[in-house]
C-alpha cells in the first residue's frame, strides 16, 4: 500500500514539474499549538508534529525543483511567550537543524540542501548560535537553500538593512536596491513567488513584508500546520502555475504588461 502511495507521489511530482514551478516559496507555519490542543497532545508534541510535516514538505519542494524554501521558524515576538515554550522551541529548532545532515538517508533530496539562518543573530543564545553557524558552514556549497527565519520580523530586517546602508554610504544615495542588498536574506535569493500561511489567519505577522511586495502570490489555508501536507501543497503549486500561465497569456493577448492586468480588467467597461 505504502509503495502505491509513494509511486503516485513520484508521478504527481513528475507531472507537476513539467509546468511552471516557483523558485522561492515561504511558509508561515501556524497552528502547532491548536493542533496539540485539538488532539490532546503536549505542546512540545504539537511542535514536533509540525517539524515532521515540514520535513516532508521540504522534500516535495526540492524534488519539484524549487530552489529556495523559507520558513518563519521563530518570530522576535515569540520571545514574549513563556520561557518554557521559548526554550522548547529553541532546542527543537537546533536539534532538527542538526539532524538535517542525516536526512538525506531517508530523503535523497536533502543531500543538496544548505541551511541559512535569517534574522537578528544577536538575540540567539551563544551555544545555540555556534551550533547553527556550524551547520550553515557545513552546507554552504549546496544547490538548494532552506532559509530559516529566526529570530525574525520584517521590520527588524528592514531596520537592520537601512542602518547598514546608512552607516556604510554616508555620501551615496540610499535606494530601494541598496536596502534590498543589505537585508538578512542574501542578495542571491530569488524573488519570493509564493507565500503560504496555514491555520486560517489572514495576516502576514511581520513576515517578509518587503519581499512579498511584487509578483508574490499569497495563499491562506485553513489547515493547521501539522495537517498541511503533500496534497495541499501540490494544489497550491498547481494553482500558482495556472495563474502565472494565465497571466502571461492574457498579457500577450491584451498587449499589456502583466502588472497592469488587474487594473485593465477591473476598470474596463
Binding site for ligand NAG (CB under 6 A): 120, 122-123, 156, 159-160, 163, 214-215, 248, 257-259
Question: What stretch of H or E contains 197?
Answer: strand 194-197
Contact 58, 101 (CB under 8 A): no
Nearer to ligand NAG, 34 or 160 (CB): 160
CB of 215 to ligand NAG, least distance (A): 4
Q: For residue 225, what is its C-alpha cell?
A: 500546520
Contact 24, 67 (CB under 8 A): yes
Compute the distance between CA of residue 186 and CA of residue 180 in angstroms, rounded to an integer: 9
CB of 155 to ligand NAG, least distance (A): 9
CB of 44 to ligand NAG, least distance (A): 26
Contact 43, 220 (CB under 8 A): no
CB of 148 to ligand NAG, least distance (A): 17
CB of 185 to ligand NAG, least distance (A): 14
Nearer to ligand NAG, 122 or 171 (CB): 122
Compute the distance between CA of residue 133 and CA of residue 97 in angstroms, rounded to an integer: 11
Nearer to ligand NAG, 130 or 213 (CB): 213
Length of the chain counted residue by residue? 269
- Respond yes or no on whether the N-terminal peptide bond of residue 169 is cis (omega within 30° of 0): no
Main-chain dihedrals φ then ψ at residue 169, nearest 5 degrees: -130, 70
Other Cβ atoms less than 10 A from the Cβ of 12: the count is: 16
CB of 123 to ligand NAG, least distance (A): 5
Nearer to ligand NAG, 109 or 251 (CB): 251
Nearer to ligand NAG, 202 or 257 (CB): 257
Compute the distance between CA of residue 21 and CA of residue 61 in angstroms, rounded to an integer: 10
Nearer to ligand NAG, 142 or 162 (CB): 162
Contact 158, 179 (CB under 8 A): yes
Amino acid at each position: 500500500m505504502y509503495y502505491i502511495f509513494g509511486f503516485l507521489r513520484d508521478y504527481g511530482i513528475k507531472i507537476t514539474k513539467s509546468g511552471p514551478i516557483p523558485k522561492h516559496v515561504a511558509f508561515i507555519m501556524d497552528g502547532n499549538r491548536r493542533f496539540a490542543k485539538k488532539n490532546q497532545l503536549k505542546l512540545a508534541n504539537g511542535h514536533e508534529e509540525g517539524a515532521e510535516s515540514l520535513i516532508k514538505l521540504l522534500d516535495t519542494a526540492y524534488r519539484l525543483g524549487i530552489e529556495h524554501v523559507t520558513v518563519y521558524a521563530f518570530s522576535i515576538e515569540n520571545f514574549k511567550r513563556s520561557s518554557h515554550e521559548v526554550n522548547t522551541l529553541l532546542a527543537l529548532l537546533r536539534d532538527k537543524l542538526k539532524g538535517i545532515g542525516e536526512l538525506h538517508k531517508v530523503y535523497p533530496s536533502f543531500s543538496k540542501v544548505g541551511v541559512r539562518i535569517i534574522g537578528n543573530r544577536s538575540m540567539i543564545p551563544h551555544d545555540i548560535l555556534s551550533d547553527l553557524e556550524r551547520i550553515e558552514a557545513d552546507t554552504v556549497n549546496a544547490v538548494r537553500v532552506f532559509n530559516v527565519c529566526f529570530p525574525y520580523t520584517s521590520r527588524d530586517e528592514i531596520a537592520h538593512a537601512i542602518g547598514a546602508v546608512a552607516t556604510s554610504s554616508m555620501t551615496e544615495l540610499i535606494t530601494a536596491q541598496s536596502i534590498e542588498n543589505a537585508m538578512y536574506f542574501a542578495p542571491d535569493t530569488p524573488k519570493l513567488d509564493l507565500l503560504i500561511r496555514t491555520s486560517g489567519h489572514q495576516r502576514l505577522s511581520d513576515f517578509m513584508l518587503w519581499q512579498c511586495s511584487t509578483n508574490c502570490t499569497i495563499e491562506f489555508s485553513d489547515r493547521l500546520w501539522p495537517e498541511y501536507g503533500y496534497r495541499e501543497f501540490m494544489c497550491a503549486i498547481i494553482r500558482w502555475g495556472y495563474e502565472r500561465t494565465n497571466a502571461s497569456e492574457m498579457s500577450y493577448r491584451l498587449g499589456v504588461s502583466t502588472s497592469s492586468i488587474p487594473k485593465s480588467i477591473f476598470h474596463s467597461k
